[in-house]
Structures are given as structure tokens and as C-alpha cells.
Structure 1
Amino acid sequence: MSTSDFIESLKAEVSEDVFQRLMDKFEPLIVQRLKHNSFTTQEAASYLNCSDRMLQLMCKRGEIKFYKIGTDYRFRQTALDEWITTQEQCTGTV
């Protein structure tokens, strides 16, 4: 192995190590932030690329998780992402 190959290999290892350390540190913060990120009905429908009416029907059928503040529906981003993942697994689409 030449010196330049060794240096490139070392750079790659260091880069991977630094990346992994950063991910280990920031992943819990990212997950927490996503868990607290919530959408209105219009925002959630836009996120799912569907109509407000379709989203309301999915809520009434118990297909998608939501919570209410007064009469307003709210949707956690993590719940929407879980629903998307479930749909992908059921239909085999990506």
C-alpha cells in the first residue's frame, strides 16, 4: 500500500468515526425534536400529499393517529412517518 493510499484510507476511517460520533450525540436530539413537531390538519394533509377531507376520513376510521386541542386535530410528525412506513410495507411501494 502506498503512502497516499494509506492517507486516503485513514481519512475515510476518521471521517466515518467523526460522523458516527456526531450521529450518536445528535440522534436523540433529532428524534426528540421530531416527536414534538406537530402539524395542523392542513399541514399534515400537505405532508402526506392528500386532501384535508381524506385525512379526516382516515382519522375517523382510526387509520392514523392524532390528538385534539379543542376541536382542532393535531398530528405528530413521527406518527405520520410511522403511518407512511406502514403503508409502504403493506403495498410494497417506496
Structure 2
Amino acid sequence: MHRPLVAGVVITALGLKTTLHQVADTDHYGLAEPLRDLPAWALAGGTGLFLPGSAAILLRTTGRRAPALLTGGTLCLAAPSAWRQALWSPSSRPWQPSPP
């Protein structure tokens, strides 16, 4: 029961660490660049694991259902895929020069 909570915290911490590394490394990354794959997936995925885990604990301990936590977790898990789809179009990447 507690494993999704612990995994969510650890994965979110990994996402925060890699995000801060990307922001601090201005030699290799521009500040206008979106997050790379790992930080985006880790930030949203960790939260996406934590929210349903807390909903499961709430259900088991009090018997109350938490649809807001389940919906939030689902949206967090789906968010990186939506970001990736949006970033595929060349018009949404102003930080990359267009090919000659």
C-alpha cells in the first residue's frame, strides 16, 4: 500500500534534481528549451504515482473514495505524452533553427 507513495516521492525527487541540473547548465541547455524526457516524465510520473497511492490509503483507512486524487493522478501520468505530442510540431520549437 505504501510503495506507490514512496516510489512517487523518489521519482519526483529525481525529476526535481534533473530539472535543476538542466536549468543550472546554461552551457548545454537554453532556458527557453522545454524539459527533456527524463525530467518531464519523472516530475509528472512521480506525482501520478503518489496521488492514486494516497487515494488507495484513504480508501483503506477511512472507506472514503477520492475521485479528485485519482483524476489528478491520471492527468499527471498522461501529461508527458501530451507534451511530447505538442513538441513534435516544428512550429512549437522556437529554440531550434529551421533547416535551410
Instruction: Provide TM-score, normalisation by structure 1.
Output: 0.28
Higher relative contact order (CA 8 A, sep 6+): 2
Q: Which has the larger radius of gyration?
A: 1
Q: Flag the structure with higher strand content.
A: 1
Instruction: Provide TM-score, normalisation by structure 2.
Output: 0.27
